[in-house]
Structure 1
Amino acid sequence: MSRILITGGAGFIGSNLANAFAADGHEVTVLDNLLPQVHGTSPESSELYQLASKAATVVVGDVCSRKDLEAVLPGQDVVVHLAAETGTGQSMYEVERYNRVNVGGTAILLDILANDSSRTVKKVVIASSRSIYGEGRYLSPELGYVYPGSRSETDMLEGRFEPTYPGSGALELVGTSEDSKIQPSSVYGITKHTQEALVMTVCPTLGISPVALRYQNVYGPGQSLTNPYTGILSIFSTLIRQGRAINIFEDGLESRDFVFVDDVVRATMQASLDSRANNQIFNVGSGVGTTVNTVVDELIRAYDQKVPVEVTGNFRLGDVRHNIADLTRIRETLGFEPEVSFRDGVEKFAAWVASQDVVDGGYEASLEEMRQKKLLK
């Protein structure tokens, strides 16, 4: 049995992870500030909080508070650091908040560990993100592997959405490996890279084993339906249930690596408990790219409810075109294989969504906010 602290442990991934650890016989403590953007206006009655509280000792506190962290760290063997502000779009205009929570909270955690001679923590697992890669890895017929920079506003205004690279013909999308170029295109991505770098740099000097997990697009039952920055499956599900039209950005052929929450929990548990993961960085995804058009088709099929769908050509500055994980390292090191296909995952997600009240997810308000900031074109 290990004693495990999960920061942000009452969130979507954290509450499921807390339950999995508890079921495996571990003693779990959760630190979470119950942010209304995630948990709603009555956080302690939220489904995620209830899930976490059944499996763990839940402490309401903030990773930006040294006092709160010092209260929960004593006696812990493993820290899984999930607490973070999420959302690439929102990060571009709430720059201070994202840096304060994501970078500042991680720095406080490490500062405490560095200066506590009685610390018991042996491993820190940091939840990193695919966003640190930016546009990811492509194969050029002339140049081999290349890493395109951010797409230009001019190209996208003219409907040229695919990345290009100087001196190269048409690029072939390939999986992004852990040793690929790091070039985040959002404030969120920058903060996740900084979190990861802090943990991977500081922990070995303290005799603590670090592990970084670069999550792809995680989805599944329990994902917030009221947080407009949580992901397109939740956003589109709410629109479908309301009978409202779906506007697809770009040309709908942009793709993401969607990974079901149960697979993420398995990978995170193994990284936390298996010594083979020590001092390693891993992608955690499905290894399969799914276009936004396919997401909409699968959701409409799952809910059996037709709604108008329009491909608008709109786009958000800072968005990437594609990003798919190369899972070679986590397969070869830990034997991890994703088990839930996208279609099966959507079925499970839609069944859960259908059991929830239909609520306003705040999506239109978030888009208007981005328009005002000139980030949505």
Structure 2
Amino acid sequence: MTASTLGTVLVTGGAGFIGCALSHKLAATAERWVVIDNLHPQVHPSAERPADLHEAAELVVGDVTDAAAWDALLADVRPDVIVHLAAETGTAQSLHAATSHAEANVVGTTEMLDALGRAGQVPAHFVLSSSRAVYGEGQWQREDGTVFEPGQRSHAQFERGEWDFPAAKPLPSRAAVTMPAPTSVYGATKLAQEHILSAWSAAHDAKLTVLRLQNVYGPGQSLINSYTGIVSLFSQLAMDGGTIQVYEDGRIVRDFVFIDDIAESFRAVITAGPAADVSRFDIGSGVGTTILELAQAIAAYHDAPAPVVNGMYRDGDVRHAECSIEDSLAGLDWAPAWDVTRGVAALQEWIAAQRGADVQE
């Protein structure tokens, strides 16, 4: 399938951050580009169609957990491709909002599949937006070369200030090698999505591509959602002259990947079509950045006070989340184009523009 021959594409949660960016890549070339989104107030405070959603996209306001909404939608739409973005996000939030995460991420997925069954429809290709959170701590390597899965850091470890696993170093996650072992409710629900879609697709001869995304940031990200977007949160604090607080010892590692690179990865998968019955790809920049490095760069950009490492922690947090993109580079017509320095600068400019627009209004 190429961009010029796209059939009907249905995007769940398609009015959000990634969905809007992707709509500008492909919506105009699809036979139909249909979005179902509940316009969650955590992302869409005005509950209006977002200006960033491409004009060619048909927006259906509805919740993926609502069977009636699905039945009404599928009476009018017969998707060739379903891009499943709809989800509750936020690893920390999920620990005290487990039910809402399970409802949106797990039940929302099963309601979609049940509705397809009632409508007698089998899309040719599912594309799932999964997460690096499915890996948990992933694999670490001891000094003697042995590789092990350390599991979740305990509350007692945090209280002692033991941030790392002793005499070991973390390894980048890689879908073909790293066993998923989520340490958050959010990660567990994303892995459940993978399993559910894999089982259903296999039984119905559909294809499934899973994109395990690292930490996505960039223009278009919600500036009011405190549970997603550490880059935007740090940026707004520094813009106001505040001091960024950094947890643990500052050396928590994340792979920050720019929104345009994320949208390009989805474009590559959708236009090329499925490579196998089930394919899994890690999508990131391929470069790890410590939270302290990120905070220092943002503070310096705004001439804000130097970040403070406060030794605080979040139960269930992962110490090191970085991926290898080797298999993604080989298997997709895709490569990241944005490094974190360029991407963070672009985000600062966008946030400043948004704030200026708010003042004028």
TM-score by shorter chain over 0.5: yes
Q: Distance in 2 between matches of 1:292 and 1:203?
A: 38
Q: In the TM superposition, what is the alpha-carbon distance from 1:153 to its structure 2 partner?
A: 1.9
- How does 1:166-315 map onto structure 2 within 5 Å? 170-178=167-175, 179-278=177-276, 279-302=278-301, 304-315=302-313
Is the 1:276–1:333 contact (alpha carbons within 8 Å) kept by the matching residues of 2? no
Deviations 1:182-220 (A, max 9, x none): 111111011000011111121121121111111100000
Is the 2:85–2:128 contact (alpha carbons within 8 Å) kept by the matching residues of 1? yes
- How does 1:1-377 map onto structure 2 within 5 Å? 1-40=6-45, 42-44=46-48, 49-73=50-74, 74-117=77-120, 119=121, 121-142=123-144, 144-164=146-166, 170-178=167-175, 179-278=177-276, 279-302=278-301, 304-357=302-355
Residue identity matched to 1:27: R
Is the 1:200–1:212 contact (alpha carbons within 8 Å) kept by the matching residues of 2? no
Q: In the TM superposition, what is the alpha-carbon distance from 1:335 to its structure 2 partner?
A: 3.9
Is the 1:128–1:213 contact (alpha carbons within 8 Å) kept by the matching residues of 2? yes
Q: Distance in 1 between matches of 2:32 and 2:339?
A: 31
Q: Distance in 2 between matches of 1:277 and 1:349?
A: 33
Q: Secondary structure at the match of 1:127?
A: strand
Q: Distance in 2 between matches of 1:208 and 1:241?
A: 48
* Alignment coverage as a number of residue pairs: 348
Q: In the TM superposition, what is the alpha-carbon distance from 1:58 to its structure 2 partner?
A: 0.7
Gaps of 5+ in 1: 165-169, 360-377
Is the 1:131–1:185 contact (alpha carbons within 8 Å) kept by the matching residues of 2? yes
Is the 2:27–2:54 contact (alpha carbons within 8 Å) kept by the matching residues of 1? no
Deviations 1:137-176 (A, max 9, x none): 2222335222211112222222210124xxxxx2122211
1:368 matched residue in structure 2: none
Is the 2:138–2:149 contact (alpha carbons within 8 Å) kept by the matching residues of 1? yes
Deviations 1:12-31 (A, max 9, x none): 00111112112445531111
TM-score between both structures, scaled by the size of structure 1: 0.88
Q: Distance in 1 between matches of 2:215 and 2:232?
A: 12
Is the 1:83–1:102 contact (alpha carbons within 8 Å) kept by the matching residues of 2? yes
Q: In the TM superposition, what is the alpha-carbon distance from 1:76 to its structure 2 partner?
A: 1.2
Deviations 1:221-252 (A, max 9, x none): 01111000012111111211222221110011
Is the 1:6–1:18 contact (alpha carbons within 8 Å) kept by the matching residues of 2? no
Q: Secondary structure at the match of 1:107?
A: helix
Q: Distance in 1 between matches of 2:10 and 2:61?
A: 13
Q: Distance in 1 between matches of 2:139 and 2:334?
A: 22
Closer, same or farther: CA 141–339 of 1 in aligned 2, 3 Å: same
Closer, same or farther: CA 325–109 of 1 in aligned 2, 3 Å: same
Q: Secondary structure at the match of 1:39?
A: coil
Q: Distance in 2 between matches of 1:231 and 1:38?
A: 12
Gaps of 5+ in 2: 1-5
Relative to structure 2, which stretch is displaced further, 287-296 or 239-248? 239-248
Relative to structure 2, which stretch is displaced further, 310-319 or 177-186? 177-186
Is the 1:244–1:308 contact (alpha carbons within 8 Å) kept by the matching residues of 2? no
Residue identity matched to 1:138: W
Q: In the TM superposition, what is the alpha-carbon distance from 1:358 to its structure 2 partner?
A: 8.2
Q: Distance in 2 between matches of 1:55 and 1:171?
A: 51
Q: Percent identity?
A: 38
Q: Distance in 1 between matches of 2:8 and 2:351?
A: 33
1:167 matched residue in structure 2: none
Deviations 1:256-309 (A, max 9, x none): 01111111111111112323534201111111100011111221233x331352
2:3 matched residue in structure 1: none
